[in-house]
Amino acid sequence: MSDKPNPINETDDEARALARSLVDTTRYAALAVNEGDTGFPLVSRVAVSYGSDTGLFFCASDLSTHSQCLATDPRCSLLLGEPGKGDGLAHPRVTLVGSVDRIENSDPQRQSMRDIFLERHPKANLYVDFADFAFYRLLVDRALLNGGFGKAFHLDATDLEFLREWTKFG
Amino acid sequence: MSDKPNPINETDDEARALARSLVDTTRYAALAVNEGDTGFPLVSRVAVSYGSDTGLFFCASDLSTHSQCLATDPRCSLLLGEPGKGDGLAHPRVTLVGSVDRIENSDPQRQSMRDIFLERHPKANLYVDFADFAFYRLLVDRALLNGGFGKAFHLDATDLEFLREWTKFG
């Protein structure tokens, strides 16, 4: 690819703030996982939340295909940011790349995650305590930020400081 | 997983019609690809279109990470269907799983795809003819349909007849 122009901009404070804003506000994300037995990458929708004490996490049922894939291979990525109105590719979005950590019911942070999750997703009250549902925290490795045409950035764990100890190599 | 209940419903005409409706109307999809050198599944946003003579396709730049991943491994999946208002997990969405076929500029179908694409994405007129942009047709293997809670279905190539010859094993 060395004969092609490099479309990646140098990461600056504005890019870091945009990534943080997307994590702070997004309610639904597209989750990509590895389907181990076929090698296909599978994408599905999950409800996400973020708290400064909990990191970025989502809720999923053990019966879902994505949970079953993650049980075999915890590597994944999450796309945050909605297409919005007009040209959907002009709206910012960020791909957070990393691995998930399944939060057991006995985990002392589970209650805090539950509170934060229900604040952003009140209707999840219907299922969040079902035995087959669990929270999955993202341990972030890096991010690909796209702020619109010509506004692509690569963010590393240092740029994602607001995710603190939940960076994969933090 | 044999000790767990099976959450997949039997595929019926209503499920097939819902999948078709999502393909017919969706403007933006989340695309999952394999990042060959790391093994991570990456998800990003693409603009999609569908025509009965062209199948389902999207437009992407050779400079993008997803195009570079697809050049190495054409396996992917596309999530169609927006979260919408209220509870985003109550809105239908479908994951189409397959491989992509990159459409060369010399391909006789390219003009037809361009027309269909610009009808759904008028603003793509700005970039669709750039030298580094190309259309990618999805050769569909199967689909995972989620019509909302308790409404999960697995669709095979036969259920996706409206994608006709663009099923992977069709």
For chain A, how big is the Rg over CA atoms in Å?
Answer: 16
Q: List all residues of chain B from 49 to 78 with a beta carbon under 8 Å from chain A.
A: 61-65, 68, 75-78
- Within 8 A by CB and 6+ apart from B106, the residues are none
- Rounded-to-integer distance, Cα A18 and Cα A149, Å: 15
- Can you list the pairs that B27-31 forms with residues at least 24 positions away whose Cβ atoms lie under 8 Å? B27/A83, B27/A88, B27/B120, B27/B121, B28/A83, B28/A88, B28/A89, B28/B82, B29/B58, B29/B78, B29/B79, B29/B80, B30/A30, B30/A32, B30/A43, B30/A79, B30/B78, B30/B79, B31/A43, B31/B58, B31/B66, B31/B76, B31/B77, B31/B78
Identity of the residue in B63, B88, B121 whose CB atom sits nearest the CB atom of A28: B88
**pLDDT at B42 (0 to 100):** 98
Identity of the residue in A4, A63, A83 whose CB atom sits nearest the CB atom of B45: A83
Residue ranges of chain B whose pLDDT lies below 70: 1-4, 164, 168-170
- Rounded-to-integer distance, Cα B105 and Cα A26, Å: 38
ipTM of the complex: 0.94
| Residue in A21, A16, A132, A141 with CA at minimum distance from that of residue A77 | A141
**pLDDT at A1 (0 to 100):** 43
Contact A89 B45 (CB under 8 A): yes
Q: How many CA atoms lie within 13 A of B1 on its CB side?
A: 14
Q: How far is CA B117 from CA A58, A96, A151, B54, in A?
A: 34, 29, 23, 10
Total CB pairs under 8 A between chain A and B: 134
Comparing alpha-carbon positions, the chain A residue that sits nearest to B80 is A44
Q: How far is CA A129 from CA A63, A71, A106, A126, B170, in A?
A: 14, 20, 13, 8, 43
Q: How many CB atoms lie within 10 A of CB A156?
A: 13
**B8 touching A, CB under 8 A?**
no
Q: What does the pLDDT profile of chain A (170 residues) look like in tens digits?
A: 445 677 899 999 999 999 999 999 999 999 999 999 999 999 999 999 999 889 999 999 999 999 999 999 999 999 999 887 778 888 999 999 999 999 988 899 999 999 999 999 999 999 999 999 999 999 999 999 999 888 999 999 899 988 867 766 44
**pLDDT at B1 (0 to 100):** 43
Picking from A22, A26, A28, A40 by the largest number of B CB atoms within 10 A of its own CB, the best residue to mutate is A40
**A33 touching B, CB under 8 A?**
yes
- Within 8 A by CB and 6+ apart from A148, the residues are A89, A90, A91, A92
- What element of type H or E holds A111? helix A110-120
**pLDDT at B105 (0 to 100):** 87
**pLDDT at A150 (0 to 100):** 82
Closest Cα in chain B, distance from residue A109 (Å): 24
**pLDDT at A25 (0 to 100):** 93
Hey, what amino acid is at B74?
P
**B1 touching A, CB under 8 A?**
yes
Contact B45 A93 (CB under 8 A): yes
Contact A40 B76 (CB under 8 A): yes
**pLDDT at A168 (0 to 100):** 62
Longest dimension (CA), chain B: 54
Name the 3-class secondary structure at B119.
Answer: helix
